[in-house]
């Protein structure tokens, strides 16, 4: 035991440090046994969907998706299990709405590099239909930092640029916390994002200032607790595969 001595005249005072006090008493009083976490079987690989995930795209069909403007999703199913944006067919969105979630999505920009900046491999993932995680070919492609791959568009710059070369598959793993609103429609708690790009942390529990907007400052508008996820048709033939989600 370490003794801390404070001399006051001829008087010595010994005190017991806090870490020593922690060894006294009954440790069982701080054990929590309920609730018991539900057993979930992980995917066979780190990118495979766990047992409690909702598979949004497995390469077989577009049954979980529809056109944002209504009707069937018209993106192309590829022989390799991907779906590819067909320019001019418009954004697609999930038929089901989601709030706070863990999202896994894999994407690929075209191997043939065309254009530059925002015109090169551009798309986006809109959580709740309005909070955008940017997709872009940001491999040796200069653009504004809050609009490159991994940015929360025009709000948060990624911590690093973890982009792979054009034509290679890339991965986003997202933990999203949905915002909440007071009864009068004002924001109570903001939306938050944590994002891993190809296994590298690029957004660390950052708070959004509101909806994604192209011009001006973001702002919040009250919405329901669950809204569709939107994938953007920005005119570039982006491909997607292995999309799954876990509701939180």
Of 78, 53, 246, 73, the C-alpha closest to 169 is: 78
Instruction: Give pLDDT tens digits for 123-142.
Output: 999 999 999 999 999 999 99
Asked if residue 24 is part of any domain, the answer here is no
The tally of domains found in the chain comes to: 1
Q: Any idea what the CATH number is for the domain that residue 74 is in?
A: 2.60.120.560
Q: For the chain, how far is it from start to end, CA to CA, in angstroms?
A: 46
Q: Is 92 helix (H, G, I), strand (E, B) or coil?
A: strand
- 5 pLDDT band (50/70/90 cuts)? very low
Instruction: Report how far residue 175's alpha carbon sits from residue 154's, in angstroms, rounded to the nearest whole number.
Output: 19
* Bridge partners, residue 55, by sequence: 244
Give the domain range for residue 213.
39-247
What is the value of pTM for the model shown? 0.88
**Structure letter (DSSP) for residue 55:** E
Asked if residue 240 is part of any domain, the answer here is yes
Is residue 14 pLDDT above 80, yes or no? no
* Mean local confidence (pLDDT), 214-229: 97
Asked if residue 124 is part of any domain, the answer here is yes
Asked if residue 227 is part of any domain, the answer here is yes
Asked if residue 31 is part of any domain, the answer here is no
Of 135, 195, 123, the C-alpha closest to 160 is: 195
Asked if residue 110 is part of any domain, the answer here is yes
pLDDT of residue 33: 87
Question: Which residue has better confidence, 8 or 101?
Answer: 101
pLDDT of residue 30: 85
* Region class of 90: left (phi > 0), else alpha (psi between -120 and 50), else beta: left
Do the Cβ atoms of 91 and 68 come closer than 8 Å?
yes
Asked if residue 30 is part of any domain, the answer here is no
pLDDT of residue 17: 66
* Mean local confidence (pLDDT), 100-124: 95
> What are the tokens at 2?
């370490």
| Percent of the chain surpassing pLDDT 70 | 91
Asked if residue 45 is part of any domain, the answer here is yes
């Amino acid at each position: 035991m370490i003794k801390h001595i404070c001399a006051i005249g001829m008087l010595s005072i010994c005190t017991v440090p806090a870490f020593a006090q922690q060894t006294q008493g009954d440790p069982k009083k701080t054990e929590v046994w309920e609730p018991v976490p539900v057993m979930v079987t992980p995917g066979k690989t780190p990118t495979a969907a766990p047992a409690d995930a909702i598979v949004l795209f497995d390469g077989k069909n577009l049954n979980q998706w529809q056109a944002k403007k209504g009707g069937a999703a018209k993106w192309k199913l590829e022989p390799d299990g991907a779906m590819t944006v067909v320019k001019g067919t418009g954004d697609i969105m999930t038929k089901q709405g989601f709030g706070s979630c863990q999202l896994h999505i894999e994407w690929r920009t075209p191997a043939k590099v065309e254009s530059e900046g925002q015109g090169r491999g551009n798309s986006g993932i809109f959580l709740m239909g309005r909070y955008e995680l940017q997709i872009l070919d940001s491999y040796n492609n200069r653009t504004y930092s809050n609009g490159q791959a991994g940015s929360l568009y025009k709000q948060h710059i990624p911590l690093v640029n973890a982009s792979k070369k054009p034509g290679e598959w890339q991965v986003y793993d997202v933990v999203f916390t949905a915002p909440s609103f007071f009864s009068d429609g004002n924001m109570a708690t903001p939306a938050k994002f944590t994002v891993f790009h190809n296994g590298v942390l690029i957004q660390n529990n950052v708070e959004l200032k509101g909806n994604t907007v192209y011009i001006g400052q973001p702002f919040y508008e009250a919405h329901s607790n669950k809204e569709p996820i939107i994938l953007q048709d920005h005119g570039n033939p982006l491909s997607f595969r292995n999309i799954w989600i876990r509701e939180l």
